[in-house]
Structure formats: C-alpha cells, structure tokens
C-alpha cells in the first residue's frame, strides 16, 4: 500500500460516521500514566484524540500524531470542547512510516497502533522508543486478537503477544526495565454498539536513567 493509499484508506474509514471512537482514554493509558509526574508525551496514532486530551487534562504537554486529517480535526474539536489550552497539545498530520519524532519525551504512548497493508509497526515503535528520555516510559497497547467489529478492516493481520513485542523492540536491561508485560481482558463496545470481551496486549517499559 503506497503512502497516499494509506491516508486515503484511513480517511475513508473516518468518513463512515461522524465519530468512530468513544472519545474516552484507553484504560491501560490511564492506569499507566496515573501517578507519573506530567511532562512531555507523544501519542502515536492519536485518532480522534481521547488519549491526547486526557493526558493534557492531567498536565502533560502532548505531541499527537495521526495520518488522517479528519481524525486530527475531530481531536482538535474535542480538545476545544474540553477547554484544553491550545499550547497543551501539538497536533500533527503525519505518516508514521516516514515521520521521525522531533523531540524527546517523558512518555511515548502507542495504543492500538494497527493499520492495513504493509505497516512497519516494529520499526515505527523502535524509532519512537529511541526518543524516550532517561527515566521516561514507553507504553504499547495492542489487540491480542482481532476484535469482532474489525472484519473487513484487517486482513491476515498479526497481533503480537507482549513477549514478542518486548523482544522485537529490544526492551531488555540495562537500557530498559519492563514494568508490565501481560494480556488484560476488558469489556468493550464497538463502533456499532457491538459488545464484546477483548484481550489487550499491554507493555509498559521504563528507560534506564
């Protein structure tokens, strides 16, 4: 899939309805970030902004990136409705396959960073992990299996187990301490109000100071 195709495909996905996601932050992000001292955060694949806005409300200065202009516009609208100051979130429309983070961050978060086509997820995550500051954290959350409402949107997609991601991202000592590497279950509601019990692969790693 070429870069224009990827952007067009995600734009078509967001054109299906006025809102795809709930607007709420992901549970794993809330759990991981609660108790951390707010600093700078990078939200990879920010979608409609639920995670980025929540982080900003907790005092983080967020760089939020997504390939779809429609998603970023909706995220900006969510931030405005929630009265988040403009300077709290830097919104960017970029293709993560070719984009390099411009700064270093206290928290890098990638929640459900799955995409169609030949998406180099490990390469993207390694690049982002390299920007975590000493003492900072990397959070990676993904589907442990395809959710039932993804039919037609994912084709032969591989969902890595936490241990596989830890190995692929080279999160071993002495450079990293893996704080969490597990599969978590949760009840969820899909875009069409489908209810399901999902398993998430969750990794939280701390970069050595």
What proportions of the chain, in percent to the nearest 5, are helix, strand and coil?
30, 30, 40
Is pLDDT of 11 > 50?
A: yes
- How high is the pLDDT of residue 119? 86
- How high is the pLDDT of residue 150? 62
Task: Find the mean pLDDT for residues 71-86.
Answer: 97
Highest mean pLDDT among 21-25, 98-102, 131-135: 131-135
For the stretch 102-156, pLDDT in tens is: 999 999 999 998 776 678 999 999 999 999 999 999 999 998 777 665 665 545 5
- How high is the pLDDT of residue 144? 76
DSSP class of residue 25 equals P
Is pLDDT of 2 > 50?
A: no
Q: State the Cα torsion 57-200-186-82 to the nearest 10°.
A: 20
For the stretch 158-203, pLDDT in tens is: 788 999 999 999 999 999 999 999 999 887 766 566 777 788 999 9
What is the rounded average pLDDT for all residues in the chain?
A: 89
Which candidate, 47, 92, 40, 96, places its Cα nearest to that of 65?
92
Q: What is the CATH number of the domain that holds 112?
A: 3.40.50.150
Is pLDDT of 3 > 50?
A: no
Please state, in angstroms and rounded to a whole number, the distance separating the CA atoms of residues 169 and 175.
12
Asked if 57 contacts 79 with a C-beta cutoff of 8 angstroms, the reply is no
Structural domains of the chain, count: 1
SS3 28: helix
With pLDDT > 90 as the criterion, what percentage of the chain qualifies? 68
Sheet holding 61-66, edge to edge: 89-93, 61-66, 40-44, 105-111, 132-143, 195-207, 176-189
Please state, in angstroms and rounded to a whole number, the distance separating the CA atoms of residues 192 and 194.
5
Q: What is the 3-state secondary structure (H, E, C) of 134-176?
A: EEEEEEEEEECCCCHHHECCECCCCCCCHHHHHHHCCCCCCCE
What tokens appear for 36 in the block?
């951390």
Range of the domain at 192: 3-207
């Amino acid at each position: 899939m070429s870069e224009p195709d990827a952007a067009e495909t995600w734009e078509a996905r967001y054109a299906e309805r006025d809102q795809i996601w709930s607007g709420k932050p992901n549970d794993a992000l809330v759990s991981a970030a609660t108790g951390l001292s707010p600093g700078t955060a990078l939200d990879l694949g920010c979608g409609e902004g639920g995670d980025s806005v929540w982080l900003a409300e907790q005092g983080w200065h967020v760089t939020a990136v997504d390939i779809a202009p429609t998603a970023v516009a909706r995220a900006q609208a969510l931030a405005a409705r929630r009265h988040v100051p403009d300077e709290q979130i830097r919104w960017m429309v970029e293709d993560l396959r070719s984009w390099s983070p411009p700064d270093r961050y206290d928290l890098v978060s990638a929640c459900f960073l799955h995409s169609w086509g030949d998406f180099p997820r490990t390469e993207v995550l390694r690049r982002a992990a390299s920007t975590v500051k000493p003492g900072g954290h990397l959070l990676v959350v993904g589907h442990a299996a395809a959710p039932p409402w993804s039919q037609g949107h994912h084709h032969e997609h591989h969902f890595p187990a936490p241990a596989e991601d830890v190995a692929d991202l080279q999160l071993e000592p002495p450079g990293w301490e893996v704080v969490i590497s597990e599969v978590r279950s949760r009840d969820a509601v899909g875009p069409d109000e489908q209810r399901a019990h999902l398993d998430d692969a969750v990794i939280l790693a701390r970069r050595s100071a």
